[in-house]
Copies of this chain bind each other. A is one copy, B any other.
Amino acid sequence: MDDSVLKNLILGKYSKSRLECREIAKNPELHYTAGLTVGEHRERVLKQVGILAKTGIVSKAFPKEYGGENDFGGHVAAFEELFVTDPSLQIKSGVQFGLFAAAIQHLGTEAHHDKWLNKAMNLEMLGCYAMTETGHGSDVFNVRTTATYDIKNDSFIINTPDRQAWKDYLGNAALHGRYAVVFAQLYTDMNKKQGVHAFLVPIRDEQGNFLEGVGGEDDGVKGGLNGIDNGRLHFTDVRIPRENLLNRYGDVAKGGNYTSPISNPKRRFFIMLGTLVQGRVSLDGAAVVASKVALQIAVTYANKRRQFMKANGEETLLMDYQTHQRRLLPLLAETYAANFAHEELLKEFDKVFTSLSSGTVEEVEGMQDLETHAAVLKAVNTWHGLNTLQQAREACGGQGFLQENHLVQLRADFDIFVTFEGDNTVLLQLAGKRLLTEYSAKMKDASLAQKISFASKDIIEKTRFKFTELNHANTIFELLKVRVDLMTAHVASTMYNARKEGKLEEAFISNQSNIVELAKAYSDFIKFDAFKQAIKDLPHNSEWNPLNDLRKLYGWTAIQKNIGWFMTEGLVTASQSKEINKIVDSLLEEIRPHSQKLVDAFGYESEHLRASIFKK
């Protein structure tokens, strides 16, 4: 394997942006420092955001007219790499640039851009993204904060009805934020509810005191990301000018007349929230970075550290233990798969957002697919990242628990990634439902139930027929695909029957886990497929075998995890199952000698990894 070819393959299309950010990330001023108080950590990270803002690395996604580069993919790629500075810095800058400023950019119109965008970019305006409420996290549609149009004063009045409607967990809200983009139910003339809209609300004066009617609380110490001042906000008759409604998707004219380019309120809501997809894409990418860093540390340690004497008096390298290989190498394979799947997602995102930012379209082709892919990959890959960080820490034993080896802090900071920007379970449900809807749409011409019944039998027969040659990558592809197809067919037929009986809601409740499992199965398929596509153009020589083996290892272990399902459905026999176990064993043996090369290819340097075991 040519090292630089492999490195570039992993870096992908936005390599320039990634490498630029990695250079910036070498600056010790941007690094996490252990042992600070929460107050000191918050101040340090605020300063770091200032340093970052000056580099321009966080402005790539903004319009060229405002000093940006219109580069959505490059922006997100750079953001992802920031994980290696201090995740608090990454997420705090995500709040400022990716949420607060991006809301002005995507939900506002030209006047808002002219007035506020540069100030948000250069930190003159520090802002919060006030969407989540204590009682409504994932369920944004039902937030209870209100914005009522007051015709007399041509302004909006923002109110928090009760404690459950406090805005919560907001970065920048406890201390540093001076403004907030507040998501509230809009009421226009005659008390007509127009649904959720976003408003720019000043919350603090220059000295940092709350403005009249605004109150809040500090969220206090958290499980990680303590460099961010998360907090709560509430509003009592807070008055803002009518122009502070971010009005791209819905506007209120003087006098209270409401207009929107999107007539259906539910569709409008989902299009407005579509901009959230950027956060999910970014976190998926950050999860890939987290996994790569964790494995580069743990595998390097395992290739150095020896423990327990062999008969010949030599101590065994950790990496030579079968249990260690089984712990780390499948994670390595999945990290490669996640990397390549994220690369596809990022390109898809870049395309959609480039169209969207043209400003002439409200709804862009490919948006729904992008949302499905982002939801699925954010969910499974952040769980993968968290698991990888934990396995890496355990694989380093006591060393792994010391801050000087970096893993525990990264894990603590990463923990919230699995529930913020969409709780993973909720995201998988959304994606699973979407897959079902698509399936129904495809089937709509004839009796669905009949078609499904035929389809599943057909799928099983065809698939069975193909599995004579197990040790072939295409078999993996077919098995992962048939799993998605069959699960979709099964759930869809249950739903079809339930709908006929008027019991659709109950059916969704009792099939919730099946829907989540379907979305996970789909993620395995797209990750394997992305891996396949990524290496298909590589030369067919033995040098590149480790990557082929790694792809197979990912696929087979994904199948092994669900082997009970495959066997229950009659797709894999007992003897094939034993055969698969043997294949995985031999893949682990094949890959083990290349383990160091495969993690070195991630390309993080000592200034990024900052693990003291590298120096010992």
Q: What's the least CB distance linking A528 to chain B, in Å?
A: 19
A556-585: which residues lie under 8 A (CB-CB) from chain B? 560, 563-564, 567-570, 574, 577-578
| A567 contact set on B, CB distance < 8 A | 563-564, 567-568, 574, 577
Q: What's the least CB distance linking A211 to chain B, in Å?
A: 25
Q: What's the least CB distance linking A100 to chain B, in Å?
A: 18
A223 interfacial by beta-carbon distance below 8 Å = yes
A393 interfacial by beta-carbon distance below 8 Å = yes
Q: Which of B401, B416, B563 contacts A223 (CB 8 A)?
A: B401
Q: What's the least CB distance linking A415 to chain B, in Å?
A: 7
Q: What's the least CB distance linking A524 to chain B, in Å?
A: 16
A166-224: which residues lie under 8 A (CB-CB) from chain B? 168-169, 219-224
| A322 contact set on B, CB distance < 8 A | 509-513
Stretch at the interface among A22-30, A102-110, A264-272, A417-425: A417-425
A409 interfacial by beta-carbon distance below 8 Å = yes
Q: Are A138 and B307 in contact (CB under 8 A)?
A: yes
| A564 contact set on B, CB distance < 8 A | 560, 563-564, 567, 577
Q: From A577, which residue of chain B is reached at the shortest CB distance?
A: B568
Q: What's the least CB distance linking A433 to chain B, in Å?
A: 13
In the bound complex, what is the Cα–Cα distance between A521 and B578 (angstroms)? 18
Q: Are A163 and B616 in contact (CB under 8 A)?
A: yes
Q: From A163, which residue of chain B is reached at the shortest CB distance?
A: B616
A118-169: which residues lie under 8 A (CB-CB) from chain B? 132, 134-139, 142, 163, 168-169
| A568 contact set on B, CB distance < 8 A | 563, 567, 574, 577-578
A400 interfacial by beta-carbon distance below 8 Å = yes
Q: What's the least CB distance linking A582 to chain B, in Å?
A: 12
Q: What's the least CB distance linking A165 to chain B, in Å?
A: 13
Q: Which of B38, B415, B420 contacts A35 (CB 8 A)?
A: B38
In the bound complex, what is the Cα–Cα distance between A157 and B95 (angstroms)? 60
Size of chain A's interface in residues, with CB distance under 8 A? Answer: 76
**Quick one: given A223-B409, A223-B411, A425-B323, are A397 and B516 in contact (CB under 8 Å)?**
no
Q: From A312, which residue of chain B is reached at the shortest CB distance?
A: B505
| A320 contact set on B, CB distance < 8 A | 509
Q: Which of B394, B415, B424 contacts A419 (CB 8 A)?
A: B394
Q: Are B404 and A415 in contact (CB under 8 A)?
A: no
Q: Are B35 and A404 in contact (CB under 8 A)?
A: no
Q: What's the least CB distance linking A402 to chain B, in Å?
A: 6
A441 interfacial by beta-carbon distance below 8 Å = no
Q: Are B398 and A415 in contact (CB under 8 A)?
A: no
Number of copies: 2
A429 interfacial by beta-carbon distance below 8 Å = yes
| A326 contact set on B, CB distance < 8 A | 513
Q: Are B37 and A223 in contact (CB under 8 A)?
A: no
Q: Are A412 and B307 in contact (CB under 8 A)?
A: no
A408 interfacial by beta-carbon distance below 8 Å = yes
A444 interfacial by beta-carbon distance below 8 Å = no
Contact pattern, A 377-418, Cβ under 8 Å of B = 1, otherwise 0? 000000000000000011001101111100111011001101
A269-312: which residues lie under 8 A (CB-CB) from chain B? 305-311
Q: From A512, which residue of chain B is reached at the shortest CB distance?
A: B322
Q: What's the least CB distance linking A502 to chain B, in Å?
A: 11
Q: Are A37 and B34 in contact (CB under 8 A)?
A: no
A454 interfacial by beta-carbon distance below 8 Å = no
A66 interfacial by beta-carbon distance below 8 Å = no
Q: Are B323 and A402 in contact (CB under 8 A)?
A: no
Contact pattern, A 495-517, Cβ under 8 Å of B = 1, otherwise 0? 00000000001000111110010
In the bound complex, what is the Cα–Cα distance between A168 and B612 (angstroms)? 15
| A409 contact set on B, CB distance < 8 A | 223
| Interface of A toward B, CB cutoff 8 Å | 34-35, 37-38, 132, 134-139, 142, 163, 168-169, 219-224, 305-311, 315, 320-323, 326-327, 393-394, 397-398, 400-404, 407-409, 411-412, 415-416, 418-420, 423-425, 429, 505, 509-513, 516, 560, 563-564, 567-570, 574, 577-578, 616
Q: A34-B221, A35-B38, A326-B513 are in contact. List 15 more A-B contacts (CB 8 A).
A: A132-B398, A138-B307, A168-B398, A169-B398, A223-B402, A224-B401, A321-B512, A322-B509, A323-B429, A323-B516, A394-B423, A394-B424, A564-B567, A567-B577, A570-B574
Closest 7 CB pairs of A and B: A223-B408, A563-B564, A221-B403, A322-B512, A34-B221, A568-B577, A567-B567
Jot down 19 A-B pairs with beta carbons below 8 A, ordered by A. A34-B220, A37-B37, A135-B306, A137-B397, A139-B309, A142-B309, A163-B616, A221-B403, A222-B408, A223-B407, A310-B505, A322-B513, A323-B513, A393-B415, A394-B424, A397-B423, A401-B415, A401-B416, A570-B574
